[in-house]
Amino acid sequence: MRVGTGYDVHKLAGGRKLILGGVEIPYEKGLSGHSDADVVVHAIMDALLGAAALRDIGYHFPDSDPAYQGVSSLKLLEKVGEMLEEKLYLVENIDATIVAQRPRLRPYLDQMAENVASVLHLESDQVNIKATTEEGLGFTGAMEGIAASAVCALSRALDSIEDDRMGKTCNGCGGCPPAR
């Protein structure tokens, strides 16, 4: 089992849509950033990449690359999922927390989790997204920005397959590597 964590922050700004978990949320401000600035999906991507030791989202999707200007973070998450599949990783679960004083996010959390699960081809009970406030404290409490953190667990597909090619015929010659 491999575990990864992710964290992201973006400033709130006028003239932008507020996108969280791939859901457009009605609000007078959105998050500033090169892509759609979806902090919760960014935190999830960093958690997944970290668990697989595949660096971070800035490495794979640099904000200096015009190809990612305004791109949906769910599209980037899909690419992260493909990277994990190439390395034969299975996502066991994802748990994410959004920190925002406003707007109230409860009505949108289930759709956010459903979006992430769908993009990564997961069951709905493998993704949990929740929200909290900082009781008016810090930059999120002052409504200057929104933060998100995520943790995930991965396993390797090959680790779940028993290798019994030797069966009961092993002579104990010592030529096989020790079992993991």
Q: Is 140 annotated as a binding residue?
A: no
9 is in an annotated binding site: yes
Q: Is 133 annotated as a binding residue?
A: yes
Q: Is 57 annotated as a binding residue?
A: yes
Alpha-carbon span 18 to 173, nearest angstrom: 63
User: 95 a known binding residue?
Assistant: no
Determine whether the annotation assigns residue 169 to a binding site.
no
Binding residue per annotation — 10? yes
Report the chain's C-alpha Rg in angstroms.
20
DSSP states of 116-179: HHHHTT--GGGEEEEEE--TT-HHHHTTSEEEEEEEEEEEEGGGGS---TTTT-----S-SPPP
User: Is residue 46 part of an annotated ligand binding site?
Assistant: no
Residue 159 identity (one-letter amino acid): D
8-state DSSP, 22: T
CA–CA gap between residue 5 and residue 22 (Å, rounded): 20
Closest residue by Cα to residue 108 from 15, 30, 26, 10:
26
Is 121 within any annotated ligand binding site? no
Residue 85 annotated in ligand binding: no
24 annotated as ligand-binding: no
Is 135 a known ligand-binding residue?
A: yes
Residue 42, annotated ligand binder? yes
Is 65 annotated as ligand-binding?
yes
86 is in an annotated binding site: no
Does the annotation flag 64 for ligand binding?
yes
Please check if 35 is assigned to a binding site. yes
Residue list, annotated binding site for a divalent metal cation = 8, 10, 42
Residue list, annotated binding site = 8-10, 34-35, 42, 56-58, 61-65, 132-135, 139
